């Protein structure tokens, strides 16, 4: 049935803008669902921002108004120094992701709170019928009368992929490769996403705007090409059918418009098989306040980060696709996606299957640098997080060193390879060398937030707390995927500053409950806050699940936190939590 809008124009109800009644009904479904895993304050927060938005007061939604009107804070609240609103907003985003993944997967309306903002967006979701998945739902992303749609939460599919691979690996996800076959394939690399960056369109039509437009295209190509987990394809490769095997699956299109001193770059990612728009965004800048080259670099960096980084829109699109089925020729790349799914919760349950998948990938494609780098980092995790203790032949640090060295040998410009090398050096105690490698990787691609966050964390733990923690904080703000690992890092940053309340907020937000180091961090924080009962629960968990870990805690702390005074500060918290730690050196 087709309805008409207020002007009498026919409107398909499947794509019509959501009404106020529909939004409020969807809000009630969410708030009263047991699958919306958020405290009462978060539910009030969501109700407040939805109510303000549909009332036409979205411009009033700020951290200050939320803190004073929802949290009951007084007028002295300062969002720059108090992260309470930011933390609660992140909790709401995660609760919404869980709700729509579980109970709300068939709901007709999606309420989202884009990262970096508190104004919610509302999207219809219609059922579409396709050959691979006749039950697939997609959102119809139209301009809402209440707000605009921004970052999706499809990274949840990446986490789901990690769990799927856990089952598939047990059933030989990747077929066994004989040494002879491996040698035959040594010159080949696996399928990884290919992206064609089209020449951007100049909508202004002046020599000046034409020059700026060409510069934008070149800068975007340069920035995306630094991400080695994606291939930038020249326009010549687009000749022929988009269905050919080696053709890029995606095309990036841009339009540049100049209006006086204002410049707008409109960008969109298109799936070439059907012309559907996977993602779109606008970047507005002022020519009065930026030099042209700096402006081009800034916007191009934002585009590259959004599109090409782990958890970016290309990764998200493929993760959704691979949760349904993994084509044989994409299995090795699917392993890299599964690694990032494992990163979402650092669970030992997914660690082993992801590691085995990457081991198979490196056997099948011995020249795949990224797989070697990620494999090295799973070895590091196995050691530092005390995973797979049942092994008859335990993994050693040298396994991680060898895999990282192989990755760097294959591609010395791959920042994931350099990230793995940095970690192996750090855990060998060669801190200066580790930071030098991290600095080199960061110079190659400062727009890779996974690398930037890990490099920042290593700097912080080495004693450069202020600059290191700032990089970690930027990662939490810019990374579109799960950032629990980096939120735990910010908990340590706050702890070292003796801000134990903020430290607990970050730790609770990280919520890496299956990870023993996370439990140790929370245990020290609870000790400083005098929360004895909660601290006892954490200590009991560690003694049950990682027996003997606390007995060597001095060594574990010294392995990570390099300055003796910082080590002692952390040990104080554990002692105040009731952990018995003998005096003496690390």
Considering the segment(s) 448-586 as one domain, its CATH architecture is Alpha Horseshoe (1.25)
- Write down the pLDDT at residue 80: 76
Task: Examine the pLDDT at 332 and tell me if it is beyond 60.
Answer: yes
- Write down the pLDDT at residue 42: 86
| Cα(336)–Cα(358) distance, integer angstroms | 7
Residues of the chain with CATH 3.40.50.10070: 194-315
Cα 567 versus chain centre, distance:
29
- Write down the pLDDT at residue 291: 80
- Write down the pLDDT at residue 296: 85
- Write down the pLDDT at residue 244: 60
Mean pLDDT of the chain: 83
- Write down the pLDDT at residue 172: 39
What angle separates helix 415-427 from helix 431-444, to the nearest 10 degrees? Answer: 170
Confirm if 11 and 4 have CB atoms less than 8 A apart: yes
Token look-up 């004073």 returns 68
**Angle 258-259-262 (CA atoms, 0-180°, nearest 5)?**
80
pLDDT digits (tens, 9 = 90+) for 17-59: 788 888 988 998 898 888 888 888 888 999 999 999 998 888 8
Confirm if 284 and 232 have CB atoms less than 8 A apart: no
Confirm if 353 and 170 have CB atoms less than 8 A apart: yes
pLDDT digits (tens, 9 = 90+) for 268-294: 999 888 888 888 888 888 887 668 888
φ, ψ for residue 277 (rounded to 5)?
-85, 115
Residues of the chain with CATH 1.25.40: 448-586
For the domain 194-315, what is the CATH superfamily, name and number? Answer: TolB, N-terminal domain (3.40.50.10070)
Task: Examine the pLDDT at 311 and tell me if it is beyond 90.
Answer: no
Task: Examine the pLDDT at 319 and tell me if it is beyond 80.
Answer: no
Written as one string, the DSSP assignment of 157-206 is: HHHHHHHHHHHHHHT-SS----HHHHHHTTT------EEEEPPPEESS-S
When pLDDT is cut at 50, 70 and 90, the band that residue 16 belongs to is low
Q: What is the pTM of this model?
A: 0.73
Average pLDDT rounded to a whole number, residues 176-182: 44
472, with CB counted inside 10 A (0-12, 13-18, 19+), is: buried
pLDDT digits (tens, 9 = 90+) for 98-148: 788 778 877 888 898 887 789 999 888 654 333 333 333 334 333 344 443
When pLDDT is cut at 50, 70 and 90, the band that residue 163 belongs to is low
Task: Examine the pLDDT at 234 and tell me if it is beyond 80.
Answer: no
Average pLDDT rounded to a whole number, residues 422-441: 96
β-strand pairing of 250-259 with 201-202: parallel
- Write down the pLDDT at residue 36: 85
Structure tokens at 367: 């020249």
pLDDT digits (tens, 9 = 90+) for 71-100: 888 888 888 777 788 888 888 888 888 788
Confirm if 255 and 203 have CB atoms less than 8 A apart: yes
Average pLDDT rounded to a whole number, residues 511-536: 94
When pLDDT is cut at 50, 70 and 90, the band that residue 151 belongs to is very low
When pLDDT is cut at 50, 70 and 90, the band that residue 152 belongs to is very low
Q: pLDDT > 90: what percent of the chain?
A: 45
pLDDT digits (tens, 9 = 90+) for 532-571: 999 999 999 999 988 888 988 999 999 999 999 999 999 9
Helix (H) or strand (E) holding 3: strand 3-4
Confirm if 18 and 144 have CB atoms less than 8 A apart: yes
- Write down the pLDDT at residue 135: 36
């Amino acid at each position: 049935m087709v309805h008409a809008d207020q002007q009498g124009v026919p409107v398909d109800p499947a794509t019509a803008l959501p009404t106020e009644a529909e939004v409020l009904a969807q809000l009630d479904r969410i708030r009263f669902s047991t699958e919306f895993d958020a405290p009462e304050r978060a539910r009030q927060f969501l109700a407040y921002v939805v109510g303000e938005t549909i009332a036409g007061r979205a411009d009033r939604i700020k951290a200050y108004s939320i803190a004073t009107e929802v949290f009951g804070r007084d007028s002295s609240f300062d969002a720059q120094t108090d992260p309470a609103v930011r933390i609660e907003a992140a909790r709401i985003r995660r609760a919404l992701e869980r709700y729509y993944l579980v109970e709300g997967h068939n709901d007709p309306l999606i309420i989202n709170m884009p990262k970096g903002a508190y104004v919610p967006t509302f999207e219809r979701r219609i059922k579409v019928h396709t050959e691979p998945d006749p039950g697939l739902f997609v959102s119809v992303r139209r301009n809402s009368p209440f707000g605009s749609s921004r970052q999706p939460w499809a990274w949840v599919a990446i986490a789901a992929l990690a769990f799927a691979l856990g089952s598939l690996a047990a059933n030989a996800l990747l077929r066994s490769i004989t040494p002879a076959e491996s040698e035959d394939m040594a010159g080949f690399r696996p399928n990884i996403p290919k992206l064609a960056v089209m020449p951007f369109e100049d909508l202004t039509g002046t020599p000046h705007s034409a020059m700026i437009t060409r510069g934008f295209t070149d800068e975007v190509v340069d920035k995306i090409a630094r991400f080695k987990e994606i291939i930038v394809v020249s326009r010549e490769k687009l000749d022929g059918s988009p269905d050919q095997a080696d053709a890029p699956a995606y095309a990036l299109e841009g339009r540049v418009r100049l209006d006086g001193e204002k410049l707008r770059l409109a960008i969109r990612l298109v799936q070439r098989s059907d012309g559907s728009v996977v993602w779109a965004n606008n970047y507005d800048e002022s020519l009065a306040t930026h030099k042209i080259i700096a402006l081009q670099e800034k916007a191009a960096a934002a585009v590259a980060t959004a599109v090409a980084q782990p958890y970016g829109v290309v990764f998200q699109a493929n993760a959704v696709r691979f949760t349904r089925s993994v084509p044989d020729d994409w299995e090795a790349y699917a392993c890299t996606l599964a690694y990032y799914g494992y990163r979402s919760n650092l669970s030992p349950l997914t660690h082993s299957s992801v590691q085995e998948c990457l081991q198979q990938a490196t056997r099948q494609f011995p020249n795949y640098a990224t797989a070697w780098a990620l494999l090295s980092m799973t070895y590091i995790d196995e050691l530092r997080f005390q995973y797979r203790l049942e092994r008859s032949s335990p993994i050693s640090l040298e396994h991680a060193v060898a895999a990282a060295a192989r990755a760097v040998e294959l591609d010395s410009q791959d920042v994931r390879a350099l990230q793995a090398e940095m970690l192996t050096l750090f855990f060998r105690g060669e801190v200066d060398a580790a930071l030098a490698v991290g600095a080199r990787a960061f110079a190659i691609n400062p727009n890779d937030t996974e690398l930037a966050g890990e490099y920042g964390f290593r700097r912080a733990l080495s004693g450069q707390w202020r600059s290191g923690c700032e990089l970690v904080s930027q990662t939490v703000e810019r990374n579109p995927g799960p950032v629990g690992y980096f939120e735990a890092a910010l908990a340590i940053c706050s702890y070292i500053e003796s801000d134990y309340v903020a430290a607990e907020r970050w730790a609770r937000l990280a919520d890496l409950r299956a990870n023993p180091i996370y439990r140790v961090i929370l245990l020290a924080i609870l000790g400083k806050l005098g929360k004895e009962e909660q601290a006892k629960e954490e200590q009991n968990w560690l003694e049950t699940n990682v027996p003997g870990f606390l007995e060597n805690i001095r060594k574990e702390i010294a392995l990570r936190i390099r300055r003796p005074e910082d080590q002692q500060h952390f040990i104080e918290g554990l002692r105040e939590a009731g952990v018995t730690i003998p005096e003496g050196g690390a």
